[in-house]
A and B are shown apart, each in its own frame.
Chain A
Amino acid sequence: MLRDLLGLVINLDLLDRYGWRFLDGVVVTAQLVTISFILGGVLGLLLGLARLSENLALRWFSGAYIYFFRGSPLLAQLFLLYYGLGSLRGFWTDVGLWWFFREAWYCALLAFTLNTAAYQAEIFRGGIQAVPRGQREAAAALGMHNAIIFAKVVFPQAMIVALRPLGNELILMVKASAIASLVTIYDLMGVTKLAFSRSYNFELYLWAAVLYLIIVECIRRLWAVLERRLTRHLKMGESQPVQAGWLSRMTKSALKPNA
């Protein structure tokens, strides 16, 4: 029954032959993007902080890194890593890293991580700079430690600004990850190309487009949840009347010290 309905919109023969492989492809794409985005986020945050550092060497290094990785195509970076560094087999065997550079999967992961780190670094830098100076000064005046100021005061507020651009970057990464198929990885695009080369049926590219769309839609929804969570203190008045009452009482008492 469900099958008959499905048959109205998609080619069932193709579905039987390639359905599971497409799901595998979605999983591979999701893993590749998730892992590299998270690792890239950690590296990006460090680079973003280095950009704002008072140390000239750090500023210079992170500036050069971002300049290179944002300024050259991801495809070129991937090929440099995969074919360029991959050709130095003797060297990698000597340093015990050949197992890493042998695998297309690790090479792609590394290339994507390094690339997204550059973009995320700029997003974090912008977010951190958008936090008003007074916030830091006030926290310092309360005697807070620098690390605590960053973790409790600056970073949460920077994230409100950074969240949307980060979501953008993640969505761009999902789509850019299709180039992993060029270095033998069977991600969603790799599977699509494989299935297409066997059947020459354009419908398969439509499947791929829809599956990418679904991934992006999931991210969009996840980001909406994250944003609500991060900005919940800004909306208390509207959505949480009990706490709003508590807040306004606090505010009133704070405004009228003599009351």
Chain B
Amino acid sequence: MYKTLLAAGICILGMTSLASAQMKKEIVIASEGAYPPFNFMDSNNKLQGFDIDIANALCEKMQVKCTIVAQDWDGIIPALLAKKFDAIVASMTITDERKQQVEFTDRYYRTPLSLAVPKDSPIKDTSVASLKGKTVGAQSSTTQSIYAEDTYGKGGADAKLYPTQDEANADLANGRLDAAVADKFVLVEWLKNSGKDCCKLLGDIEGTMSEAGIAIRKEDKELKAALNKAIKDIVADGTYKKIQDKYFAFDIY
């Protein structure tokens, strides 16, 4: 028993030292897997989506071997800091609060926040006054959850937070929510698919255009430089556009 434990301990030690020493040739990237079309699980339980394609393209440009893993959103930054992986490519918006914890690369796309509402909704626009007394849902630990709480919430709306966007969408379709706030492209994608019968896009929320970047640990300066260069390269050589056209009919860079 003691020997087995010891052996297991040595194994774990060996693996962690290997991972930290060889960041250059082999990196582990985390995504969420519940945020279509940016990242989601396909029917074979494999990660797919815009984020995943971008991550693979970047790795190819940097000529490193990449493993992409799925990680729950709520724990994704703590897990990065705990060195479970080296980078987060999961449509993470660059914010000041997050910057205190992690380093961000340059943006790899931009998106405004939007509101989706049931088709027969009496809500006229996305202003704070229109949402007064309504129930607004969002995914927790996101920029939209902060917007739902701080802006709509302070204006008299009831903000409900869900572990994933899928669950917020489900509750909008169920009629528990009067509106859901999320990245525009995510809502558009949902409204094209399972949300098309129940709901519609109300519109963009003014002044919420934000940038999605790749999060890495603060000390990994080399990785940051390499990723930034790779982002520039894939935009320049058309790889980015090819990936974008797979998912969107418009420019999101």
Contact = CB atoms under 8 A, between A and B. Distances in A.
A87 B174 contact: yes
Interface of B: prevailing SS: helix
Interface stretch (A25-33, A44-52, A143-151, A190-198): A190-198
Top-5 shortest CB links A-B: A197-B141, A184-B160, A89-B175, A86-B174, A200-B101
Interface residues of A, number: 17
Contact of B174 (A83, A182, A197, A200): A83
Interface in A163-212: 182, 184, 190, 193-194, 197-200, 202
B140 A87 contact: no
Contacts of B162: 184
A108 interface: no
A197 B97 CA distance: 9
A198 B97 contact: yes
B145 interface: yes
B78 interface: yes
A199 B98 CA distance: 9
A87 B175 CA distance: 8
Interface of A: 83, 86-87, 89, 98, 102, 104, 182, 184, 190, 193-194, 197-200, 202
B74 interface: yes
A102 B175 contact: yes
A190 B140 CA distance: 10
Contacts of B171: 83, 86, 184
Interface residues of B, number: 24
Most buried by B among A87, A200, A202: A200
B146 interface: yes
Interface string B221-244: 000000000000000000000000
B163 interface: yes
Interface in B154-180: 160-163, 167, 170-171, 173-176
Given A86-B176, A89-B174, A194 B161 contact: yes
B47 interface: no
A202 B75 CA distance: 11
A197 B176 contact: no
Interface in B94-127: 97-98, 100-101
Given A86-B171, A194-B149, A199-B97, 7 more contacts: A83-B167, A83-B171, A102-B176, A182-B163, A184-B162, A194-B140, A197-B145
Most buried by A among B145, B160, B175: B175
Nearest to A86: B174
Contacts of B176: 86, 102, 104
B55 interface: no
B140 A198 contact: no
A204 to B, nearest CB: 12
B150 to A, nearest CB: 10
A87 B170 contact: yes
A193 B176 CA distance: 22
Contacts of B98: 200
Nearest to A103: B176
B77 interface: yes
A104 B161 CA distance: 11
A195 to B, nearest CB: 11
B103 to A, nearest CB: 14
Contacts of A89: 174-175
30 contacts: A83-B167, A86-B171, A86-B174, A87-B173, A87-B174, A89-B174, A89-B175, A98-B175, A102-B175, A104-B160, A182-B163, A184-B137, A184-B160, A184-B161, A184-B162, A184-B171, A190-B161, A193-B74, A193-B141, A194-B140, A194-B161, A197-B140, A197-B141, A197-B145, A199-B97, A200-B77, A200-B78, A200-B98, A200-B100, A200-B101
